Structure 1
Amino acid sequence: MKITKVKTFLCNCFRTNWVFVKIETDSGIHGWGEATLEYKEPTVAAAIHDLEYYLIGSDPGNIEKFRHDCYRDAYWRGGPVLMSALAGVETALWDIKGKALGVPVYELFGGKVRDAVPIYVNGWFAPAKTPDEFAEKALEVRRNRFLGCKWDPFGKAWQEIGKRELNSAMECVRKVSEAVGDDVLLLIEGHGRFNIPTAVKIGQRLEEFDIYWFEEPLPPDDLNGMREVKERVRVPLAAGERLYNRYEYRQFFDLNCSDYIQPDISHAGGLTEMRFLGAEAEARHIGFCPHNPSGPVANAATLQLAACVPNFVILEMMMTDVPFRADICDEDLVMRDGKMVIPERPGIGIDLDEKELLRHPFVPTQLRHYRGDLTNIRPPDAVKYYRIEGN
């Protein structure tokens, strides 16, 4: 079997643009990957096509050779663009191998340790602005029996936050906590906003609540600062979605920066690199909780990891998505008792419709975090894209 063609698709999905890659072969088997890199989508698509030199005419089964050679030859190593391009292609190659062998990809990584993975939801709050509006939205999380909900209550703060704004954020946490009761975990998102004293102040205020974690309290390039915050607060920390491979994670692990790590399969080199990171986290008794706010292919691939990584703790997903998600792919996702059931189809378990992808072309979008409209991340017509059983 030889690779004959590499295709990329940029599909607007309101919050950003999904970046999908399709690898075709002379056997008729094809594979899908996702390399969604928010706000740099055309750049990462171009980087994927730069990799055609290593792909066209090669055996898609030689995944390790592809990963090694592309990373070695990049010269300017690592970074989000290269690692996202590698992630999309590498996932598509595993998809091909699984389909060729007639097994889910998790079988190629040693088989399952679980049949379903616990879920926390993001995006459930859109477009809430006030603590009362967040609390009202949180009732839907409880009704659907999701195990956790994550949100950023800090408005458009950067580095520091005013007394009034901080008190409002804590009131938001309080009201959501009261709305969901003891049934739902609370995960507080920092989006890498704060300096050390502000992150510590917020972390200490959060000690009042039984929160599951405080995520990315500092910008991702200050690992020593993360370690200092971890030493000065008594709430668990989570971080790592903006680290892109095992080399960048080495210092993160050595400094013991967080209690949970959150690499993203669309950015951290793909399934194999993620498996390495999970194994290193397991050796250090750190929970493995991949970042997963992107599209259907990234979700499908991350579910394959959830099946086979022993220290996989909990998975992020968006509670709703664009209504045409059901048109562009054939995913069949089932939620049962707050957990996502691991699909059993060969490969990563999903196929996409090229014609439908082309109906939603690229639209430039910008980061919302510091504009004051962060919570407008779901379209008004957003819908659930999974089935809930057993509630």
Structure 2
Amino acid sequence: MISRRKMLHSGAGLLSLPLLSCESAFQAGVSDVRITEVELIPVRATYRTVWLVVRLHTNTGLSGIGEASDAFGYANTTVENADTMRAELAEYFPLIMNRSPLDIEHFRQQGRSRALTGLVSATAYSAIEQGLWDLAGQVLDVPTYQLFGGKVRDTLPVYANINRATSPRTPEGFAASAARAYNDGFRAMKAAPFDNFPVAGTATEITHHIERGVESTFAMREAVGPDVALMIDCHSFFSIPQAIAVAERLEPVNLTWYEEPVPPEFVDSTLSIKAGINQLMAGGEQLFGVAGFKQLIQRHAFDVIMPDVKHCGGLMELMQIAAIAADEDIMVAPHNPSGPVSTAASVQVCAGLANFNYLELQYGEVDWRINALMPAEIFVDGMIKVPNLPGFGIALNEGVIKEMSLPL
């Protein structure tokens, strides 16, 4: 058995910080903790939203969690999709089976080539990496952010993504959702009023859809006033001329950023749009790894980059992406229209980022979300507190999840 005193004097600088209680790991001995199982827990919150929670089990009873949602698109996740993710996790499991949860770099290096093969693989890889960091913090009895150098802030500003909570998807509907978020204390919010864009539609259909999206954006601004940060996600629906024309129409709204009017992989197209508009631009939500962001950052295609802890490779990769962005004076606002586990994982990284901007919250879908974790996920005045508990500082509230979630 290893004692706390022995650990404190073992030379590991990370452990010179105040330690909290994580008795099972210390009783077993840190070197004895081994990963024994990977579990996928699908949680259907609404008819279109499923949170895919990944849990790593150990021989000591400790478990670490991550999130693997949204690898199959944002419209829905089916039983078949969940089975596909479960199979993908099984492909990675031999890399961590019977290994210490502290062997994170081994997993990162050995699993990376598979993660590069597509979004599902990248998301499974990222979820396991999240779970390893949660476990690492628990095993060492420190919040995970301490393993990345500590925190520089106690609370994080959060913007409310009101898109999925908006019904009907009309100017009135978007205005009402924005007003609800405002009344709940949020002073930054985002929507995607151009969703369901008829890319192959007639000129009349396209014009009508653009008009409706523009009207909805102005309605949101009117509902919340001039001082709220308002972002618009275009979900890569536009051509270059359409993107520039829409941005010009939206200039009086004073957007905080204009997000992904074209796919971020099209760096030249993104730069053409950036040169033709006055708004700041943001994007990068499904890109993997430093390499996936490198051109965007080096060529300053975006003013704000949006790596997603579920897709970019996990916590360490998000830190590395943010570091190269900081060298170019580019801000980081992690993409996170997801469940509470992804939010908790993102908080651990954002707590220490020098160039952190905002963290995203999928706002207003289900009122029981805040109780899906223990402790509850709480936002006060549009801020989330950085926890001081070991690991991510959370556990699944399985009773609430079982009672409130819908059949997959």
Match runs of 1:1-391 below 5 Å? 1-14=33-46, 15-39=48-72, 40-72=81-113, 74=114, 77-123=116-162, 125-159=165-199, 162-325=206-369, 328-353=372-397, 357=401, 360=405, 363=408
Q: Any stretches of 5+ residues in structure 1 without a counterpart?
A: 364-391
Question: Is the CA contact (8 Å cut-off) linking 2:281 and 2:302 kept in structure 1?
Answer: yes
Q: Judging changes above 3 Å, is the alpha-carbon distance between structure 1 residues 201 and 277 closer, same or farther for their aligned structure 2 residues?
A: same
Deviation at 1:208, TM superposition (A): 2.3
Alpha-carbon deviations, 1:141-188, whole Å to 9, x = none? 222231211112225214487333323322222222122112311111
> For 2:232, what is the secondary structure of its paired residue?
strand
Q: Judging changes above 3 Å, is the alpha-carbon distance between structure 1 residues 140 and 325 closer, same or farther for their aligned structure 2 residues?
A: closer
Deviation at 1:353, TM superposition (A): 4.3
Q: Judging changes above 3 Å, is the alpha-carbon distance between structure 1 residues 197 and 41 closer, same or farther for their aligned structure 2 residues?
A: farther
| Paired residue type of 1:97 | A
Of structures 1 and 2, the larger Rg is shown by 2
> For 2:159, what is the secondary structure of its paired residue?
strand
**Which gives a bigger RCO, structure 1 or 2 (Cα 8 Å, sep 6+)?**
1
Q: Judging changes above 3 Å, is the alpha-carbon distance between structure 1 residues 47 and 13 closer, same or farther for their aligned structure 2 residues?
A: same
Question: Is the CA contact (8 Å cut-off) linking 2:298 and 2:328 kept in structure 1?
Answer: no
Deviation at 1:326, TM superposition (A): 5.1
| Paired residue type of 1:176 | M
Question: Is the CA contact (8 Å cut-off) linking 2:125 and 2:313 kept in structure 1?
Answer: yes
Aligned length: 361
Question: Is the CA contact (8 Å cut-off) linking 2:195 and 2:235 kept in structure 1?
Answer: no
| Paired residue type of 1:19 | L
Deviation at 1:44, TM superposition (A): 2.4
| Paired residue type of 1:65 | H
Question: Is the CA contact (8 Å cut-off) linking 2:160 and 2:188 kept in structure 1?
Answer: yes
| Paired residue type of 1:137 | S
Deviation at 1:361, TM superposition (A): 6.8
Worse-matched range after superposition: 160-169 or 262-271: 160-169
Q: Any stretches of 5+ residues in structure 2 without a counterpart?
A: 1-32, 73-80
Worse-matched range after superposition: 293-302 or 320-329: 320-329
> TM-score, normalising length from structure 2?
0.83
2:5 maps to which residue? Answer: none
**Structure 1 or 2: more helix by fraction:** 2
Worse-matched range after superposition: 349-358 or 187-196: 349-358
Alpha-carbon deviations, 1:300-320, whole Å to 9, x = none? 001111211111101110222
| Paired residue type of 1:121 | A
> For 2:361, what is the secondary structure of its paired residue?
strand
Question: Is the CA contact (8 Å cut-off) linking 1:333 and 1:341 kept in structure 2?
Answer: no
